[in-house]
Amino acid sequence: MAAPASRSLILPKTPSRPPPSPATSGERGCSWGGGSPRGAEPSAPSPSPRHGQDGAAGAGAERGALRVSHGIAGTLLGEMALCAKKRPPGKRQEEVEIHATIERWPGLQAGRAPEGRGSPLSGRNSCASPGVRPIGAAEAKDRPTDTPPAPAQTGIMTVPKEIPEKWARAGAPPSWSRKKPSWGTEEERRARANDREYNEKFQYASNCIKTSKYNILTFLPVNLFEQFQEVANTYFLFLLILQLIPQISSLSWFTTIVPLVLVLTITAVKDATDDYFRHKSDNQVNNRQSQVLIDGILQQEQWMNVCVGDIIKLENNQFVAADLLLLSSSEPHGLCYIETAELDGETNMKVRQAIPVTSQLGDISKLAKFDGEVICEPPNNKLDKFGGTLYWKENKFSLSNQNMLLRGCVLRNTEWCFGLVIFAGPDTKLMQNSGRTKFKRTSIDRLMNTLVLWIFGFLVCMGVILAIGNAIWEHEVGTRFQVYLPWDEAVDSAFFSGFLSFWSYIIILNTVVPISLYVSVEVIRLGHSYFINWDKKMFCVKKRTPAEARTTTLNEELGQVEYIFSDKTGTLTQNIMVFSKCSINGRSYGDVFDVLGHKAELGERPEPVNFSFNPLADKKFLFWDTTLLEAVKIGDPHTHEFFRLLSLCHTVMSEEKNEGELYYKAQSPDEGALVTAARNFGFVFRSRTPKTITVHEMGTAITYQLLAILDFNNIRKRMSVIVRNPEGKIRLYCKGADTILLDRLHHSTQELLNTTTDHLNEYAGEGLRTLVLAYKDLDEEYYEEWAERRLQASLAQDSREDRLASVYEEVESNMMLLGATAIEDKLQQGVPETIALLTLANIKIWVLTGDKQETAVNIGYSCKMLTDDMTEVFIVTGHTVLEVREELRKAREKMMDSSRAVGNGLTYQEKLSSSKLTSVLEAVAGEYALVINGHSLAHALEADMELEFLETACACKAVICCRVTPLQKAQVVELVKKYKKAVTLAIGDGANDVSMIKTAHIGVGISGQEGIQAVLASDYSFSQFKFLQRLLLVHGRWSYLRMCKFLCYFFYKNFAFTMTVYDQYFITLYNIVYTSLPVLAMGVFDQDVPEQRSMEHPKLYEPGQLNLLFNKREFFICIAQGIYTSVLMFFVPYGVFAEATRDDGTQLADYQSFAVTVATSLVIVVSVQIGLDTGYWTAINHFFIWGSLAVYFAILFAMHSDGLFDMFPNQFRFVGNAQNTLAQPTVWLTIVLTTVVCIMPVVAFRFLKLNLKPDLSDTVRYTQLVRKKQKAQHRCLRRVGRTGSRRSGYAFSHQEGFGELIMSGKNMRLSSLALSSFTTRSSSSWIESLRRKKSDSASSPGGGGPDKPLKG
């Protein structure tokens, strides 16, 4: 079993010993697989990376920023190098560094290492050298066990010459690690640089990725196998086989094989096209070029040919080909900058650093000789964790995530770097997080499969009844007519005759579910997909990107979504930070006021501040408050100190490609925004070295000596720098969260603190991200003492982090307040309005982001998911299972306590029972929100707590999950799918969202700034989040409505056809020609209300969520109507024909005349019925309905014509029958009577329903008709008064109403219900009652409704 990546690594204390002698290190004289010359000097010390101790997934992501920051600080300050060396409190350096080696091999036993195993202990060539002598027990026991450990070296541990026998084989790979075990696990990963022969022994995965399903040889059998897993396809194949048996075939085989082959072909072509694009994408990625070091020469290799252990050269702006250990780079100290948007969705740059011992390997000759070996964790999906050890030159060096470049990252602002491939292809962390492609099927598809089984059962029952009747008739009556009606040769009894008749009836009655149903469904879905692709209102002009339906099978499910899971960065936001406002010495800047003293809105503001005085200003920076620039120009000391702090207290790197053209490399957009603001106001951060920072202050270059960086982390929530100015004055500058910094201010700033706090509250109310700025003067003597204490704390063996935190806390106290900043993380256009509209449509939105909690909460307020009017926002941050469970329990208790008395003095439990509510969601009073961190979510998703988490989350109006990994996103989606039985939609824009997109019922990709991985994995894609409201409320609702109406009508017309099957040509053509096009036109073009009304009344979306328009109940109603029609279609003509005569007095009744009358009545009735069902008439609808009737009569007369009889006398024997039959007035009166009897009950029912209990869509349609009449009258009156005006008042009225609708949630809800002339009755009460009925059924045993109570 593979060792978890987060397992803490501890060894017992071992005696310190000198390096091994050549006698024990193999022929090459290297004991740890290094191959260095004998006597080589150990490498320089390197910082040891921090080892995280908590195993909660996602928690390390927060500390990742800390590790990055420490890496920068260590580079910029030589004396800060030790600060990057982190280990858990209470553990010795030796314990931390060796720990992994032992726990990964729990099965190691004492004894000699077997020959043939490559081992760092036994020499690099030990696998081929049987004479190599492993370290044995005899040597180990001679050593005293109480020898004190050697002093710890930074990042390096000298290999003991002799170690206890228990650990002698730790460096040798176990027997099972030579190959991957048969069950697919891997205990550890071993990779040796520049040694493909050695690495190939482990049979690691290649770097070739494959997302396609088929190849040329497997496509046909695999695709047919998949298609025949559909119940309907198997059913029709079975019917085809029956029709090939002459004794029971009642219809020609071509009536089934033609449509079956058509369906299979259409589906196969669609699947082949989809897979072709997957192949194309795979080939594009696999054939990318990479520079690989082979035999001492850099050679161009395709990505798919890169192997574990290869050394790769990357250049600026290139994608990382595999998971690499960074060896060296063009930047000082082995630094390189990467963008991880494809992994975690964050576009800000991050820093990675090579370990010092390899950072000098900058040229090809040195790299060609590098033969270090890496032993590390097996492949896993933890993006923020990596644990391993590099063995080289008789030393070992700890490796962490800080030293890794992961596949999917992009190298930025770094000319070149070299890396050693550790994981390739499917083993990379990106691919491990991708998740499996799941075949997605809509709820209607699943229901149709169930209904097909039911109908098949119905056919079997009918066949049995009719077969029994046939056997009885043959036994009682048929035997008397053997002379005239003899049995076939194979039939020897009435029983066998009944048996054959059973199969004949199965073939005849199969038309109740014709295969044309599935062809029609695919055509309708294809049409809906094209409507999405052609929608100009979902086309982004700026990016020239249209909306795209990448699948045709999920359109109707867009109309049933209940939960939306959204990424934040790049999906809700633009990830662009803007310096918006600030407070300096008690005065707020950033707002612009008009002459009356009112705050000016954005559109009313004058020109932005002119920064032309500053040649180094960023021209993209905009600020509107000129008073701030005036304060800078007049030399206000507080303002100068404010911007001086912003220009000094940061970890930004500056690059100047041309004179005056500055480019800032910021780890976070926030820092970049603050430094850019200082730059424009005259305090330009120009450059830095590890010991200095150069700033141009109002045109004058000033160099500050950088004494210390007290870096930011998620616990401190602040950052400080200590600098010495040219005058020798030492000052500490600090910026951080207000909750932390305000408690560390000097008591003399109390008055300023009160004013600044008011400003902070104002900024927070606007959804801005705030920081507080402060400073403190230090005298030389105090600083020297403090620096010494800090150095001692950094060298401490135990509790190093706590000691450093205590030293930092001491100096960051009694500071003087300068002010505060407010930064806006710009939302995408239309995000708040979209969320408000979707919320009114009863769609619940959860935000799943890898970003920090503070950032996510701020965005939640900005996009109106979180509001100040909410009763409470619960924040879950527990680090243990018990803490998380307790926090969730308290949240539920608070929600229930607030609902103890909800109406008429009823308690919460009484209310719950009296209303028969099935979820806390429907009973709690007030609005709540839940914010949960990644490490807490890891516990909440455990099997024994997931129901508690889900119940708490579903009781909240908004849910935000922060610092979550891609896999956790998918787990949250899967949890809701599993227990709520609701349709889920996931939307994201980065590779970190791919798992979530694949897991949800519907995946939507945003084609934004973070590559196309999300788009490639999605079912639908567009460029902006705001288009989601149109995709769901318009296209989704219409698709669901159309598909439901199509299915209801289709089943109706086919059951109506059941008792009218008299002619095989009519049976064949009924579904293919006579009735196919009208129902297709309705399924493609129909709509109940226009798109504007769909957006104005989001409550119209709820019937889809409740699955009201097509379910088992509606299906049985359609069957009942069809059977009713079929019975009348037979008995009304039968009763008339029993006594009717022709004009010449002869008997009217004969088989063919009756068949023509019944068939004509059926075609007319179903045509009238589809006319009643059509809610939106187009020219195509008219053409198809009336054209189908015309085609029917044309074919009818042609089949009874002389011409066909002359060509096929055995097939078309009834010459002139149709003309003679339809020439009789009695026949037409019979057709009219049948039509009226079949249609009138439907008309009467719909009339009563429309007047007594109208749907919301009926109300909206009626209101629209009223408005049209009023508009026409108004136009006439206006034409009389002002004939020259062409201005439309309706458009302005509509826009105003819509704007007010969006800005006020209450108004939006009212406008959906209180419509003109229908104000006396509640339009949505029927939805609520049906929702309660659904809840009742879900609460019964076995029910799985969306509001089912959850019990942990």
Q: Which residues are catalytic?
A: 567
Distance CA 620, CA 680 (A): 10
Phi/psi for 630 (5° steps) reads -65, -40
Q: What are phi and psi of 702, to 5 degrees?
A: -130, 130
Q: Which two tokens stand for residue 92?
A: 């010795």
Pull the structure tokens for residue 1005: 């990709």
DSSP lists the bridge partners of residue 772 as 736, 820
3 state DSSP class of 89: coil
Q: Give every CB contact of residue 905 below 8 A, 6+ residues apart in sequence.
A: none
d(CA 636, CA 92): 52
Give every CB contact of residue 610 below 8 A, 6+ residues apart in sequence. Answer: none
Cβ atoms within 10 Å of 1123's Cβ, excluding its own: 15
Q: Amino acid identity, residue 918?
A: T
Q: Name every residue whose Cβ is closer than 8 Å to that of residue 815 and which is 6 or more positions away in sequence.
A: 732, 734, 741, 744, 745, 746, 774, 775, 776
d(CA 936, CA 4): 19
Give the list of residues 6+ apart from residue 777 with CB closer than 8 angstroms, or none: 729, 730, 731, 732
Give the strand pairing for 718-724 and 730-736: antiparallel
List beta partners, residue 825. 577
Residue-wise over 410-422: b if at least 16 C-beta within 10 A, else e?
bbebbebbbbbbb
Residues 6+ positions from 1043 with CB-CB distance below 8 Å: 444, 521, 524, 525, 555, 556, 1083, 1110
First to last CA, the chain: 30
On whether the CB atoms of residues 387 and 9 are closer than 8 A, the answer is: yes
* Eight-state DSSP code of residue 1332: H
Nearest Cα to 74, choosing from 355, 434, 263, 429? 355
Half-sphere exposure of residue 185, counting CA atoms within 13 Å on the CB side?
Answer: 8
Residue 412: C-alpha distances to residues 335, 403, 669, 1209, 1217 (Å): 11, 16, 15, 81, 83
Nearest-CA neighbor of 82 among 325, 332, 356, 327?
356
Rounded CA separation 1305/1311 (Å): 10
Q: What does each C-alpha distance from 1142 to 357, 419, 1137, 1221 come to in angstroms?
A: 109, 96, 10, 9
Instruction: Evaluate whether 129 touches 39 at the Cβ level (below 8 Å).
Output: no
Rg of the chain over all Cα atoms, to the nearest angstrom:
39
Quick one: which H or E segment has residue 760?
helix 750-765
Contact 88, 53 (CB under 8 A): yes
* Cα angle, residue 1104 at apex, residues 1099 and 1105 outer, rounded to 5°: 85
Please answer whether residues 314 and 411 qualify as being in contact, where contact means their C-beta atoms are separated by less than 8 angstroms.
Answer: yes
The amino acid occupying position 409 is C
Residues 6+ apart with CB under 8 A from 320: 314, 338, 405, 406, 407, 408, 409, 410, 411, 419
